[in-house]
Amino acid sequence: MFRLDINALRFIAVASVVLFHFQINFLPGGYAGVDVFFVISGYLMNEIISRQPVTLSSSIGFYKKRFKRIYPALLAAVTLYAIILLIISPPNSFKDSFKEIVPALTFTSNIFYLKTASGYFSNAADFYFLLHTWSLGVEFQFYLCLPIFLFIVQKLRVKKVLAYALITAASLVLCILIAKSHPQANFYLLPTRAWELFLGAMASSIKWENKYKKTTEIVCLVLIVGFVLTYKETAFWPSYPTLIPAIATALILHAGVKNEQVLLKNHYIQKIGKWSYSIYLVHWPIVSLFYTNNIAFSLANQLIGIAVSIFLGYLSYELVEQKVRFSWLKTPTAAICIVALFFGLSSASVSSQWLSKDVVSLDKYSNYITTDAGKTQFGQLPALCFIEGSNLDFNYKACVPDNQKGKTILLLGDSHAAEFSAALKKEYKNDTVLQVTAAGCPAIIDSVGSAPCVNLMNYAFNKLIPSRKIDAIIVASDWYNFHTYNDINKGIEKTQLYLQKFTPNVYFITQTKHFKPTVYRLLQIHGKTADINSLRERDTEETYNDMRTLSSIDHIKFFDLYNYGCQGKQCVFVKDNTVPMFFDDNHYNYEWTREIVHDVIAKNI
């Protein structure tokens, strides 16, 4: 029997996620819709797989049904947006987007985005057009594991509900333990998401009947909707608060209110619930197009985007989910051919044939940091003097050499210090430039952040600086990124007082601007000569203004770069008509760092 209460939950889940992604402000917790989907999925999978004993034959049948249910609409959505991106994207941008297609079609997106979307120099997650398929990766990996898990439970003759309870508890404990230390892995991977899916499965396997079904439905719907309306976005998700929407969903599913009594049985709610999978598939690429093309999230644009998502979701449901018949020969063949076609078109850079020369010339900056020039600029070549991500083998011998000559300058901080590495070494070629730089924490005493970064900062403050003759220290960080867990102003003042014990020449580089999307992309959209200053992220300006209050303290010296390139209200973002100020959204290109070092830093040191 088709259950209207489950379909109503699908409506709440997809509405929450879509409205949240289109930045509807009154739903700050809308991302929890994915967690509701997970619990529903776990419930339904147990309902399906429990109809007969788990055998090899029944497991294969289960896998086939899941694949046939999910794959056609996914393949159609991926193909549609790949065509759109091919037409409107510069060659390198499309090559980056093409890399998302294979993980999406093989249900490994969650692993792919863990490695890429959370990378230090990656594009912001908003610009990955198939980012939302990470949840399909988690679900399909759960589908693969569920029959195996139940087969083992069956062999051990353990009660299913007890087994579900144990694995739910184990996954939840793991999730809570690593939520802060490994937030990306906690968000993307099955082991820390499994508890939501198994919670749904457990709700399906509990035999006792709820005598207060209607009351349960009303209370739990209020909890879910209240959570979505009030709980603000957090970097550490899932965690304790996730229990609220997850348990509320499980209780509604277990209660099983009769169709005629379901609170949200409205015709339109039920329709959107039916279309929810397709709506989910099509909505995020539209959101991503907003970001990549710098389209404002105004009320009119939000409503248009939401309406288009619902319409395309309806078409996908009617024309693909309902009518396309999966074939084990034709469908995989079609997927392989589509991937091969787009790979060929991507390799041939076909969009360069119709896009302007300025757009194509700026496109090379999309992968700048992966080039030898980018790595050299940051001090990662010829020796690793800037560590980030899994690249942790800091080269002490080369980066802080014992044999010092001339003046000794220490460059200390994160990537916003490392970006000046090559420029400083060129400017002070007859002197010694020491470099201690790592991603993941601010360059202040008692810094809070990633362990490798904190350990390297502690080495600089406690061992290197007290033991060396250093003539000047340049300290830089993307201060805005760390203000949540660090008192930046107090930290800078405390750090300055400490460093002055060893050298009077200590300089902090102020917060620099952030943009969204990247500067080169904004210049592609608006033109090389455009003044894009009005498109800067305003949150970073607040950090900069906070730091300016420190300038009144006599012993703190700053290199103020926030408005570099601006004369009054006019700002220039392209050098020599070819080089954008930033190669991404907040890091200077090498040519700009050379100019800054020569014109600003060298005149003071």
pLDDT of residue 444: 96
Q: How far is CA 186 from CA 16, 181, 191, 193, 195, in A?
A: 21, 9, 8, 7, 12
Average pLDDT of 345-357? Answer: 94
158-167 pLDDT, tens digit per residue, is 999 999 999 9
233-292 pLDDT, tens digit per residue, is 887 899 999 999 999 999 999 999 999 999 999 999 999 999 999 999 999 999 999 998
pLDDT of residue 420: 98
Burial classification of residue 546, based on how many CB atoms lie within 10 Å of its CB (0-12 exposed, 13-18 middle, 19 or more buried):
middle
- Asked whether the predicted pLDDT for residue 182 surpasses 60, the reply is yes
469-494 pLDDT, tens digit per residue, is 999 999 999 999 898 788 999 999 99
- Amino acid in position 84: I
- Per DSSP, the three-state class of 276 is helix
- Asked whether the predicted pLDDT for residue 498 surpasses 90, the reply is yes
Task: Tell me the percentage of the chain whose pLDDT exceeds 90.
Answer: 85
Average pLDDT of 339-359? Answer: 94
CA distance 228 to 152: 37
- Per DSSP, the three-state class of 398 is helix
DSSP for 150-162, please give it.
Answer: HHHHHHHT--HHH
442-454 pLDDT, tens digit per residue, is 999 999 888 899 9
Least confident of 41-45, 84-88, 120-124, 308-312: 120-124
- Asked whether the predicted pLDDT for residue 124 surpasses 90, the reply is no
- Every domain range in the chain assigned CATH 3.40.50: 369-513+538-563
Average pLDDT of 574-596? Answer: 96
CA distance 17 to 29: 9
CA distance 163 to 356: 60
| Contact of 558 with 510, CB cutoff 8 Å | yes
Residue 181 banded pLDDT, cuts 50, 70, 90: confident
Per DSSP bridges, beta strands 506-509 and 570-571 are unpaired
Give the mean pLDDT of the chain: 94
CA distance 517 to 585: 6
- Asked whether the predicted pLDDT for residue 303 surpasses 80, the reply is yes
CA distance 221 to 223: 5
- Asked whether the predicted pLDDT for residue 120 surpasses 60, the reply is no
Average pLDDT of 146-167? Answer: 95
Per DSSP bridges, beta strands 574-575 and 579-580 are antiparallel
| Contact of 154 with 147, CB cutoff 8 Å | no
| Contact of 138 with 38, CB cutoff 8 Å | yes
Q: Is the dihedral of CA 477, 483, 487, 488 positive or negative?
A: positive
Average pLDDT of 408-412? Answer: 98
Using the structure block, give the residue that is written with the tokens 């660090």: 486
35-88 pLDDT, tens digit per residue, is 999 999 999 999 999 888 999 999 999 999 999 999 999 999 999 999 999 999
DSSP for 167-220, please give it.
Answer: HHHHHHHHHHHHTTTSHHHHHH-HHHHHHHHHHHHHHHH--SPPS-HHHHHHHH
Q: Return the higher-pLDDT residue of 431 and 553.
A: 431
- Asked whether the predicted pLDDT for residue 123 surpasses 70, the reply is no
Average pLDDT of 13-35? Answer: 96
CA distance 45 to 63: 11
Token pair for residue 262? 């379901």
pLDDT of residue 100: 96
CA distance 333 to 346: 20
Using the structure block, give the residue that is written with the tokens 């050379």: 594
Average pLDDT of 408-435? Answer: 97
Predicted model pTM? 0.87
- Asked whether the predicted pLDDT for residue 107 surpasses 90, the reply is yes
Using the structure block, give the residue that is written with the tokens 């896998």: 63
Task: Tell me the percentage of the chain whose pLDDT exceeds 70.
Answer: 99
- The answer regarding whether domain 369-513+538-563 maps to CATH 1.20.1070 reads no
- Residue 576's CB is within 10 A of a number of other CB atoms, namely 6
Average pLDDT of 150-154? Answer: 95
Token pair for residue 206? 């509990």
3-state helix, strand, coil in the chain (%, to 5): 60, 5, 30
Residue 119 banded pLDDT, cuts 50, 70, 90: low
Sequence-separated (6 or more) residues with CB below 8 Å from residue 604: 507, 557, 559
| Contact of 388 with 478, CB cutoff 8 Å | no
